[in-house]
Amino acid sequence: MMIRIPQVLSAEQVARCRAVMDQAGWIDGRATAGAQSAAVKNNLQLPDASPEARELGDMVRAALERSVLFMSAALPNHILPPMFNRYEAGMTFGSHVDNAIRTIRASGQRMRTDISTTLFLSDPSEYDGGELVVEDTYGAHKVKLPAGDAIVYPATSLHHVTPVTRGTRIASFFWTQSLVRDAGQRGLLFDMDMAIMRLNQDHPGHLSAVQLTGVYHNLLRQWAEI
């Protein structure tokens, strides 16, 4: 299941990201890639220990934690500090699956990557190409969102970024270990949570919402790993 999270960052926050990035030093994106990914990866990244990456990563993380939609879709247990990449004209990232295990540098803690997220920081009008293409059993899905919007998708998916042919594409990307490992179970909980929210809006105080909320939490209790 792919879920779009609109306006994770405000226009002011996107502008702050862009201003910090304009002053930052960028390195070859292969620094954080596994062997197969490195062979097809051609982009630039902010060094993940740099003060710029930390400031912006903290901003993104705080915004995610305020996002009801992200929290419901991802049910995060651990979030890898967000990273930042840049594709200039001619740059691309060929088809790959993200590494299953990542290490959180600050703590040395390892985490499983259940969910991949891309948060777009360039507006689609600023570049051509640069679509994120995610493949699942329903086919290939092209994603190119307004600056500040994010897409959440299962980290098990094959995906690639098509070559940028004009302008610059900047994004934040990171992984989440979910409380619920199985994408199918996570999808059911998300659908149920959305239905309960709608029920609460349309029929405030309805007893069914209380019962369904109970079922939601009892399913989460069965499926969550902490």
Give the Cα separation of 5 and 7 in Å (integer). 7
Residue 98 vs 149, nearer CB to Ni ion:
98
In this structure, the dihedral spanned by the alpha carbons of residues 98, 113, 8 and 93, taken in order and rounded to 10 degrees, is 0
Expressed in angstroms, the distance from the first to the final Cα of the chain is: 22
Residue 13 vs 118, nearer CB to Ni ion:
118
- Site residues (vs Ni ion, CB under 5 A): 98
The closest residue (CB) to Ni ion is: 98
Tell me the closest approach of the beta carbon of residue 123 to Ni ion, in angstroms: 22
Tell me the closest approach of the beta carbon of residue 220 to Ni ion, in angstroms: 28
H/E segment holding residue 16: helix 11-22
Give the Cα separation of 16 and 8 in Å (integer). 14
Residue 40 vs 212, nearer CB to Ni ion:
40
Residue 19 vs 158, nearer CB to Ni ion:
158
Residue 98 vs 114, nearer CB to Ni ion:
98
Tell me the closest approach of the beta carbon of residue 96 to Ni ion, in angstroms: 6
Measuring CA to CA, how many Å separate 199 from each of 70, 105, 213? 20, 42, 11
Residue 50 vs 85, nearer CB to Ni ion:
85
Measuring CA to CA, how many Å separate 70 from each of 60, 96, 168? 12, 24, 26
Give the Cα separation of 162 and 135 in Å (integer). 13
Tell me the closest approach of the beta carbon of residue 130 to Ni ion, in angstroms: 14
Tell me the closest approach of the beta carbon of residue 95 to Ni ion, in angstroms: 9
Tokens matching residue 73: 């879709």
Tell me the closest approach of the beta carbon of residue 98 to Ni ion, in angstroms: 4
